Amino acid sequence: MRVALVTAGTRGDVQPMVALGVELERRGHDVIVGVPPNLTDFPGRAGLTALPIGADSREFLESPDGRAMLAAGTLRTFLDALGKIAHETFPAMTADTLRVCAGADLIVTGVLREDCAVCIGEASGVPVVALHTSPHRPTRAYPNYLVTTRGLPGPLNRATATLFERTPWRRMRSDINDFRSQLGLAPTRRPTPARIASAGLLELQAYSRLLVPRLDDYGPRRPLVGFLSLDAGTRRRLGEAGVDDDLDAWLTAGDPPVYFGFGSMPVEDPAAALGMITKVSRSLGVRALVGAGWGELGAGARQGEQVRIAGALDHTAVLPRCQAAVHHGGAGTTAATLAAGLPTLICSVFADQPFWGTRLDQLGVGGHCRFAALDLGTLESGLGRLLNPKVRQRARRLGGALATEDGAVVRSADLIERAA
């Protein structure tokens, strides 16, 4: 088959698609990946053909609108910011997506590209598979995390997700129906998730039932396959495999460090954030390994015995040599730290990050705070909780259980081939 994989967002959104694309190409399929223009080199280095779709995600997150969205962390600000950029870039984004999907026998779409991908699939008669890295659809088990992370009675949990599905649809309906007209389709009043459900399309849930249990109402059309991780060969092609000699020597020279990383989230004051990490590490008597990320934490800072700054890291090689983790709570980073058996403090910014932080807190394997509320006191108390022997023991047990779920990429590819 010719398979088009389309997604938007940051590296955390793109990486599961890359892992899936590599497996599909290994099976002999022709794969093309559509990603934000600032991330086309990532699937390219992994050996996949990549084309740009839509706006530069890093540029958006670092723009005034993006920073306001991250700072507010509210549903309205989130929808306003995404709605504005989606409307402004919609004609270019749809043209890009059409180019990526041209001649495809199957389309796999991330959440932020579903509106466009489902229309293209409908017009061309091509099957579409959705890939979700957190629970987006209505369920009695959990509320929609963009509305609240506070547990509600089952019917209210479902209602929050239904509310969220309708709200962005009202903002984007006119643009989507203009695109449908361009494709020769009749206009529709039904939100995209409702049309996906009525068409019986497969919606892969790329996360673990160990972290998100009780999703019995999702049924066979929404299978939980587990977290999609890069294999060792792909990490080698990316230049992110193993541990370099300098870092290896630093890891060996002292106690296992605490890993700090905020991934693709811009950090307003990198020097202040690094200073806070350094002070808390000294106060608690732990070493700190800091992943620079898009926030460029530690850029130009001196390396020392207490704190070490690193660029891209092989999580599978480095995290098992740490004792705890503090990060923004992206699904991929959460999966990596938990798979390594690390108690984890999530300092969430937006999107699904508060959901993962709440789940870790409820499971007793970590904690959660808003990044906007992070200061010396909250970081020290949160990290201190991670170092509690009981929390560390629960995290190790969960890591061992997650190791038994290996094979999520293979399971996903099997299901996609059946869907075709």
For 354, the domain range is 240-403
What angle separates helix 11-26 from helix 331-339, to the nearest 10 degrees?
70
Domain membership of residue 235 (yes or no) is no
Domain membership of residue 245 (yes or no) is yes
Q: What is the mean pLDDT of residues 85-103?
A: 92
Least confident segment among 15-24, 269-278, 280-289, 355-364: 269-278
Residue 191 pLDDT grade (very low, low, confident, very high; cuts 50, 70, 90): very high
**Same domain (yes/no): 294, 389:** yes
Domain membership of residue 233 (yes or no) is no
Strand order in the sheet with 307-310: 307-310, 288-291, 258-261, 324-327, 344-348, 366-370
Domain membership of residue 232 (yes or no) is no
**Same domain (yes/no): 140, 108:** yes
CA contacts within 13 A on the Cβ side of 41: 4
What is the CA 109 to chain-centroid distance, rounded?
A: 14
For the chain, give the mean pLDDT: 89
**Same domain (yes/no): 57, 189:** yes
Strands (E), 174-253: 203-205
Q: What is the mean pLDDT of residues 33-45?
A: 95
Domain membership of residue 65 (yes or no) is yes
Residue 265 pLDDT grade (very low, low, confident, very high; cuts 50, 70, 90): low
**Same domain (yes/no): 219, 270:** no
**Same domain (yes/no): 205, 354:** no
**Same domain (yes/no): 342, 215:** no
**Same domain (yes/no): 223, 300:** no
**Same domain (yes/no): 245, 304:** yes
Residue with more model confidence, 143 or 57: 143
**For the ranges 28-42, 135-149, 254-268, the one whose mean pLDDT is highest:** 28-42
Alpha-carbon span 217 to 386, nearest angstrom: 33
Alpha-carbon span 419 to 132, nearest angstrom: 16
Domain membership of residue 264 (yes or no) is yes
Please say if the pLDDT value at position 114 is more than 50.
yes
- The pLDDT, as a whole number, for residue 300 is 47
| Six-digit token string for 70 | 């991250």
Percent of the chain with pLDDT strictly greater than 70? 93
- The pLDDT, as a whole number, for residue 312 is 75
pTM over 0.85: yes
Alpha-carbon span 385 to 392, nearest angstrom: 9
Domain tally, the chain: 2
Amino acid identity for residue 241 in this structure = A
Domain membership of residue 252 (yes or no) is yes
> Please, what is the end-to-end C-alpha distance for the chain in angstroms?
9
pLDDT tens-digit readout, 291-335: 876 555 555 445 568 889 887 788 889 999 999 999 989 888 999
- The pLDDT, as a whole number, for residue 244 is 87
**Same domain (yes/no): 205, 255:** no
**Same domain (yes/no): 7, 51:** yes
Q: What is the mean pLDDT of residues 166-173?
A: 85
- CATH number of the domain at 366, please: 3.40.50.2000
What is the CA 245 to chain-centroid distance, rounded?
A: 30
Domain membership of residue 222 (yes or no) is yes
- The pLDDT, as a whole number, for residue 81 is 73
**Same domain (yes/no): 270, 374:** yes
Q: Which of 401, 399, 376 is nearest to 325 (CA)?
A: 399
**Same domain (yes/no): 51, 196:** yes
